[in-house]
Amino acid sequence: MTAAADPAPDGAYGPVRRKEDARFLRGQGTFVDDIQRPGMLYGAILRSPLAHARVVRVDTAAALAHPRVRAVITGETLEQRKLAWMPTLSRDVQAVLATDKVRFQGQEVACVIADDPYIAKDACEAIDVEYEPLPVIVNPRQAVAEGAPVIRDDKEGQAGNVIYDWEVGDAEGTEQAFAEADVVSRLQLHYPRSHPSPIECCGSIADFDRSTSKLTVYMTTQAPHIIRAAVALVAELPEHMIRIISPDIGGGFGNKVPVYPGYVCSILASILLERPVKWIEDKSGNLISTHFARDVYLDGEMALRRDGKILAVRMRTQADHGAFFSDAQPSKFKIGLMHSAFAAYDIPVAHMTTRGTYTNKAPGGVAYRCSFRVTEAMFFQERMMQAAAQDLGMDQAAFRRMNFVRDDDFPHRTPFGFLTDSGQYGKCLDVGLRAIGYDDFRKQQEEARSRGRLLGLGISTMTEPLGAGNSREYDILGIKMFDSAELKVHMTGKAIVRTGARGQGQGHETTWAQIVSHELGIPAEDIVVEEGDTDTAPFGMGTYASRSTPVAGAAVSMVSRKIRAKARKLAAHLLEVSEEDIEWELGRFYVRSAPDHGVTIQECAMAAYSNMPDGMEPGLENTAYYDPPNLTWPFAVYIVTVEVDPETGVWDVLNTVAVDDCGVRINPMIVEGQIMGGLAEAYAMANMQFITFDAEGNCVGSNYMDYMLPTAWETPGFELHSEVVTPCPHHPIGAKGIGECAAVGGPAAFVNAVLDALSETGVRNIDMPLLPDRVWEAITQRHDVSGAPPVRTD
Ligand code: MCN
Ligand code: CUM
């Protein structure tokens, strides 16, 4: 079967209310912490207060003396069993519990197992750890400075703190294009660390059954099958003896892809004690130690012709990976899909160099609504576009439009080598400009300026790659990226569909049912969707990089078509005609020459169990594995207008317009929810969220007093537009991913708007978050405000 779009009659797509919300709104979801197992014990983790120190001694005697403490696991305990280190998803190793050194504040040092979680936590405080502090490295510059301490001295052959140097593109061609440029525009910025902050923290319950040797783990994971593979490696258990169950998840945002030491500790404790062991991370633990995102220094230039044509782009990036390189990303690419930058523009040549370094910070980089660092790529792209237009004295919209890939120019090879396949970029921009009232706003802005008021407008336009893989190019640890769906139609015509994805709030229980319904005409309410149990779900790579609809969703439609093909044979048998004489309309087969003579899909289902033709295998179920030919490339335009108060640096959003083209929308209401959520996060990153480190490596922002999560009160309103639909040419239902678009493209629109308001000052950059004091500094001092400000601790 090919993926070519099938002209299935329109049926089930539309703004159907989310099925899962019935239980969520009633507080009846089942999250990891809701699950109780008989005889369950509780784990708590002691974390390092220091960012870099030698571990001299860990004294657990006082903790162990507590009558209700069952075990204390330390790095030393694990080392004796060769379990102190675990493999990461980027082929590094990470300490499960510290042995030789601690390498970031919040690193896991010991794990106490007790009868209840409070005792476990108290007993952690009774553990006496002697540390010998070491010099601390908190940014890539310090990491490569002369005489810098080697953070990863556990690794043989690791002389310094560089993890990798990697490049992509055409260095020579780019050099030449720059030599021929009329204008060269430059921009340097830092995309700060940000934090996914799901409402539910990470957690697991490991339950090892000695009698069957089977290990069951309930776990907050976005990728249960990958975790099963990782556990098989760490615990040295064969895969069929491991069952990972990911129940309801209270938000993931990328936070829940990696393997965490807490998971491993609960598993090892359960194997050791032969009791179920629950570990639930607390909020500060999550904020301080969980996988972060971004923390990339971007520096680049653009070669331009006087009339505005972009000739070439050069980018240099430096990524701060923290103490362990543990990003979950395609193994072929060292810095994720950063080189998807500038894909929306027709640029002949480009070159990028990247360097990854270790620092004394929690590991991270790829996590938080990013599709493997696309967020940084698009942020730099759209900030650079604004700077270049300004340098040329060109209109922001006209400059973008002039350089867009044209509608008739697909498939298009991007400057770094991706292949984009469809889009109507100019049309999306038109819709956005009209909605924001572009020309009027520019006039208002002029007029306001003459009265000392600062109005600004920021544009961000981008296409981004969502839905890895194809399996030729994308793998994680060698496991190819494809996905799967299994569909079982019961004899009554009700059905269950399972996929290898695992939603965390995106509405899969609704949209997968809509896809089956669209393909087969079975009402969506008659279809149950189940994900996240490795014993029952078909193998898949999980949910991240907005890959569920592009890959698992495609598998859902392909398996439905396999079912339809078999049902057609059953219909021919029931109607006593040959298959060629059968026509399909949604939910029903009929005889071409006698349209009233037909059978429903439900009647076919019954026949599959009660009246199949001779020689036909009974039943109506199947599985499809889907390996997408390409990524999907949604396009988006975000336009923001702001007013900046020159006295205080406070800025207010006046208007936000979003035009998202994600191809065919299965459920427009869910899609809008995804866009609104993403814009709220984009606004938060641009405006208020700040998680940084002082010179000693202390995490500043380890609680929600310091690290702001916007509520409805802080979040401005958004105007969404859905009129541009460019179906994905290779996806069976023409859909493209949407889960990350607004978080990826949004931040640049907010930042561009504030800088546009400040255009008279000559300020080129203020690094996020654009807190009032930083904006005020830019206005009054008339200089760029870059990097995280040093946080004094004396
Ligand atoms: N959809 C649709 N029509 C389309 C595209 C998508 O109706 N053309 C629907 C989908 O069927 C799905 C939802 O929109 O119900 C998102 O789909 P998709 O773009 O495929 O993204 P994923 O389901 O793979 O979700 C992952 C993505 C990522 S990577 C992060 S990070 C993120 C995000 O989703 N985390 C989220 N959105 C989130 N939303 C919630 N509520 N919680 C998170 O943790
Ligand atoms: Cu990069 S966060 Mo999402 O891809 O799970």
SS3 159: coil
What are the Cα distances from residue 438, in Å, to 33, 161, 452, 675?
Answer: 50, 48, 21, 22
Q: What are residue 487's DSSP bridge partners?
A: 497, 622
Q: How far apart are CA 286 and CA 196, in angstroms?
A: 10
Among 370, 379, 738, residue to substitute to test ligand 2 (most atoms within 8 Å of Cβ): 370
Ligand 2 contact via 370 beta carbon (within 6 Å): yes
The pLDDT-based confidence of 10 (bands split at 50, 70, 90) is low
What the block records as the tokens of 581 is 């004489």
Among 506, 660, 664, 681, residue to substitute to test ligand 1 (most atoms within 8 Å of Cβ): 506
Tens of pLDDT, residue by residue over 694-728, are 999 999 988 998 899 999 999 999 999 999 999 99
Catalytic residues: 222, 369-370, 740
pLDDT recorded at residue 246: 98
Ligand 2 contact via 369 beta carbon (within 6 Å): yes
Ligand 1 mean position, distance from CA 672 (Å) = 11
Ligand 1 mean position, distance from CA 508 (Å) = 8
Tens of pLDDT, residue by residue over 239-293, are 999 999 999 999 999 999 999 999 999 999 999 999 999 999 999 999 999 999 9
Tens of pLDDT, residue by residue over 77-111, are 999 999 999 999 999 999 999 999 999 999 999 99
Contacts for 464 with CB less than 8 Å, ≥ 6 apart: 340, 343, 371, 374, 377, 378, 633, 634, 636, 740, 741, 744, 745
Phi and psi at residue 119, to the nearest 5°: -65, -45
Ligand 2 atom closest to the CA of 369, numbered from 1: 2
Average confidence score pLDDT of the chain? 95
Ligand 2 mean position, distance from CA 744 (Å) = 11
DSSP string, 330-341: -TT-TTTTGGGT
pLDDT recorded at residue 791: 53
Ligand showing the shortest atom-to-Cα distance for residue 483: 1
Tens of pLDDT, residue by residue over 729-783, are 999 999 999 999 999 999 999 999 999 999 999 999 999 999 999 999 999 999 9
Residue 560, CA atoms < 13 Å, CB-side half-sphere: 31
Among 368, 375, 476, residue to substitute to test ligand 2 (most atoms within 8 Å of Cβ): 368
Ligand showing the shortest atom-to-Cα distance for residue 375: 2
Name the nearest CA neighbour of 441 among 221, 640, 234: 640
Ligand 1 mean position, distance from CA 377 (Å) = 20
Tens of pLDDT, residue by residue over 335-351, are 999 999 999 999 999 99
Q: How far apart are CA 476 and CA 469, in angstroms?
A: 10
Ligand 1 contact via 336 beta carbon (within 6 Å): no
pLDDT above 60 (res 1): no
Instruction: Give the CA dihedral 84, 89, 91, 97, nearest 10 degrees.
Output: -20
Name the nearest CA neighbour of 522 among 2, 46, 11: 11
Q: How far apart are CA 351 and CA 322, in angstroms?
A: 26
| H-run or E-run covering 178 | helix 171-179
Ligand 1 contact via 504 beta carbon (within 6 Å): yes
pLDDT recorded at residue 3: 40
| H-run or E-run covering 273 | helix 261-273
Contacts for 755 with CB less than 8 Å, ≥ 6 apart: 386, 456, 458, 763, 764, 765, 766
Provide the CA 586 distance to its chain's centre, in angstroms: 35
Ligand 2 contact via 501 beta carbon (within 6 Å): no
**Residue 758 near residue 737, CB atoms below 8 Å:** no
pLDDT above 70 (res 634): yes
Say which residue the tokens 């162990």 belong to: 64
Rounded (5°) CA angle 389-393-397: 45
Mean pLDDT value of segment 661-681? 98
DSSP string, 370-385: -TTTHHHHHHHHHHHH
Ligand 2 contact via 292 beta carbon (within 6 Å): no
Maximal C-alpha separation, the chain: 88
Phi and psi at residue 211, to the nearest 5°: -65, -30
Mark out the alpha helices in 67-157 (DSSP H runs). Answer: 75-80, 117-125, 140-143
Mark residue 63 as left, alpha or beta (left: phi above 0; alpha: psi -120 to 50; beta: remaining).
alpha
Ligand 2 mean position, distance from CA 129 (Å) = 36
Q: How far apart are CA 105 and CA 656, in angstroms?
A: 38
Share above pLDDT 90 across residues of the chain, in percent, rounded to a whole number = 94
The pLDDT-based confidence of 393 (bands split at 50, 70, 90) is very high
Burial of 401 (0-12, 13-18, 19+ CB in 10 A): middle
What's the distance, Cα to Cα, between the start and end of the chain in Å? 67
Ligand 1 mean position, distance from CA 673 (Å) = 9
**Residue 202 near residue 325, CB atoms below 8 Å:** no
Q: How many residues are there in the chain?
A: 794
Residue 695: what residue type?
Answer: A
Burial 194-228 (b: 16+ CB within 10 A, else e): bbbbbebbbbbbbbbeeeeeebbbbbbbbbbbbbb
Lowest-confidence region among 228-237, 677-686, 785-794: 785-794
Mean pLDDT value of segment 482-505? 98
pLDDT recorded at residue 522: 97
pLDDT above 90 (res 8): no
Q: How far apart are CA 467 and CA 541, in angstroms?
A: 11
Burial of 235 (0-12, 13-18, 19+ CB in 10 A): buried
Q: How far apart are CA 653 and CA 687, in angstroms?
A: 10
Q: How far apart are CA 284 and CA 195, in angstroms?
A: 12
Burial of 521 (0-12, 13-18, 19+ CB in 10 A): buried
Ligand showing the shortest atom-to-Cα distance for residue 291: 2
**Residue 633 near residue 738, CB atoms below 8 Å:** no
For helices 261-273 and 224-235, give the axis angle rounded to 10 degrees: 50
Ligand 2 atom closest to the CA of 222, numbered from 1: 5
Strand pairing category for 41-47 and 277-280: parallel
